[in-house]
Structure 1
Amino acid sequence: MNKRPLYFDYAATTPVDERVIQVMVDCLGFSGNFGNPASSSHAYGQQARRSVEQARQQVADLVGAQAQQIVWTSGATESNNLALKGVAQARAQSGGHIITSQIEHKAILDTARQLQDAGVAVTYLLPDAEGLITAQAVSEALREDTFMVSLMLVNNELGTVNDIPAIGQRVREHGALFHVDAAQGAGKVAIDLAQWPVDLMSFSAHKIYGPKGIGALYVGPRAQQRLQAQIHGGGHEGGLRSGTLATHQIAAMGAAFVLAAEHFAEEAATIARLRERLLEQLSGINGLRLNGSPTQRIPHTLSLTFSEGEFNSQALSASIAFSATSACNSASNAPSHVLLALGLDARTAGRTIRLSLGRFTTEQDIDQAAQLIKAAAASAPAFWATAQP
């Protein structure tokens, strides 16, 4: 059996924590908590409903929200669609204007383009040189007819962290709604929706050691009457998202958020230490560049660009699981739209890799990865001479 590569792609997805798996298993099978949460007339349904509501509170607790403000979805992609399309379609008048950025996840960019096709004007802000969207840039883009601003908390390729409270204050003063994609931020950034001027926020379980196929949307008080459902058929989740609730996935997401809260400080410190260990060992590679702000970022995600002739990705891919771009771009093999927006050309973007660390990364993983990356850089010149146009 071949040895599995080192895993450095936590930003794409995380393995489900064993403690979370057990919570899921306990909701499956006849002896488990398998009932339909909507069937509240008997004990099976009531038990499932209690698990769903407990998980709703657990998710809310991590991000400073109230339980009733959490709406279950199938993941952050659906949450993003519900936020943007739901607000746009609930408006009495057509048209209007929204603001987002050129470095958002495709779940936002593709949805924004759908809204453009429906007559909504969209401004796509460029990031600054450090991969950040500033409050000033948002302020300058606001128009009288702007009804929504949608920006991510943590960039999924760079790991940069936008100043959401500052941006939110500008948006709140204008009167528009503010949506934040926090798929990469939950459990890594201290989120306080009781204080932050944010109206809608998207979450995903599989980025935080929970299962795929489950997520949530925070719906704050300013957005509650300004959101139109996108999935109909029973009026579940306060009429915002119909469909039988997946108790096992929801309970697992709640458990994952609890673990994130319990280990928040410890995990952040450990990953920061591992990140510094990796960067120190790679510091001797000529021309190596870290993309994005060196300070306003999470320690988990590194975007590294190698100088011309300094990297052989093919030599590395069998030994390390990493990304050459975000998961949303990998299917098309297109250059990263995030790196292009930063000013890198397609050729330079092709010499960039994303390494993302997580809960199960060890010092041994770091040391082995550093040696492999340095070897790939050392073997690069002949590769680039033959493989590049």
Structure 2
Amino acid sequence: MWEQLERYRNHFLQREMKGVMKSSTVNCLQSTEWDKFRKKRDCCFRFPQQCAKSSTYFFDRAQLAYGYFALPKLMKEIDSDVNLTHWRAIVSLTEFLLNPQNVQRAVLEMDIVRKLKNAFMRKRLKHHAENFEEIETYLKIFNIISRNLNGAEQIANRKCLMIEFYKILKDMEPRKEDLAAEILRNLTGKPKVLGIVLSDAENLTSIANYLKQDPCKPLYPPDMWHHLCHMLEVAPEQGIQLGLFQLLHSRIVNRLAKFWEMNCKAFALLLRCSEGQRLFDEVDGIKMIFDIFEDKCIPAEQQLHDQPVLSYEYIVLALLNGLHSKRALWRMREFTLLICHVGRAMHTRTNARLQLYCLKALRAMGVMPCNKRYIIGNWLDEISALECYSADAECARDALLDWLRRDIADNS
């Protein structure tokens, strides 16, 4: 009877080892191995079991139904002297204003920008103590309001707010720096508001001083670069007067992290004026751009992190904007391989703007007769067979082919 009971355990092992061991021996060995494994498991360190913390979702939000009367109630609770009531109101307001219709109503009917500006400045100037994270929440609300045209216009017209946004950037306050940069990008992304921002020369001066306080800083918030490029696209002369040309040029020459992205775009925008073109010729910008293309021959292990170029879009844009002077065109004659680099970059499949810039750059480089003959002899067939990924690139390709083929017909 006992031997029959032993066969019920470890049936698979006993079937494999039938005739070699008894059922009791197989079960004894299995129990021994299991005890060894359990002792090893018991020796492992166990993390203490802790209960999950209770959520503060309802504690941080006002008690209201999100309907037509929610906004007046929130605007009334913002003026409350009770810190908890005020905190719940602004946290709920960040969610309520995600609806663009609520933002438009709050800006035009409730004068929300003025009220938030007064509360924000009282906290920033230390007139009132910060019991919760009110300043960061105010910045979130300003970020949402800045996406609205009327709200962005009211924010840009309040100089004290602009000063505080730039001060947050300069001091590099954690969790606030990115919010301030995004607000400034939203403001200058609208042409009407961009004119208001540029009407005050201190705004561009503030962003220039922020960049010059640490010229070797590897990375900046991406929204800050967009904000700078919005202003330089309209006022490149003012940026050159503030010394941004020398600063951006040094960052490109020293190959700082991701220099080929927005840093190179801002540098290209500075070349849209006569003074920028003159400085570009003085620093031998054609040679600098040629060296950037030649860096691809350097092994990746010999380059620093974020130093290898992943996209040549803004590098070609800088070349395109720099080929407007006779000195640059004559210098271009000495770098025939630069035509090859631009021609290879023209075959990109992921960036339609890069393809457009390459076609325009080939047209600009072909102004010199020797460069034009080189393009006709070596790149005409590839340009003819090029597959364009945008309507603008297709128009630029057809114009370039027509210009090149017209020269062939005239010579023949």
TM-score by length of 2: 0.22
| Bigger RCO of structures 1 and 2 (CA < 8 A, at least 6 apart) | 1
Q: Which has the larger radius of gyration?
A: 2
More strand by share: 1
More helix by share: 2
TM-score by length of 1: 0.23
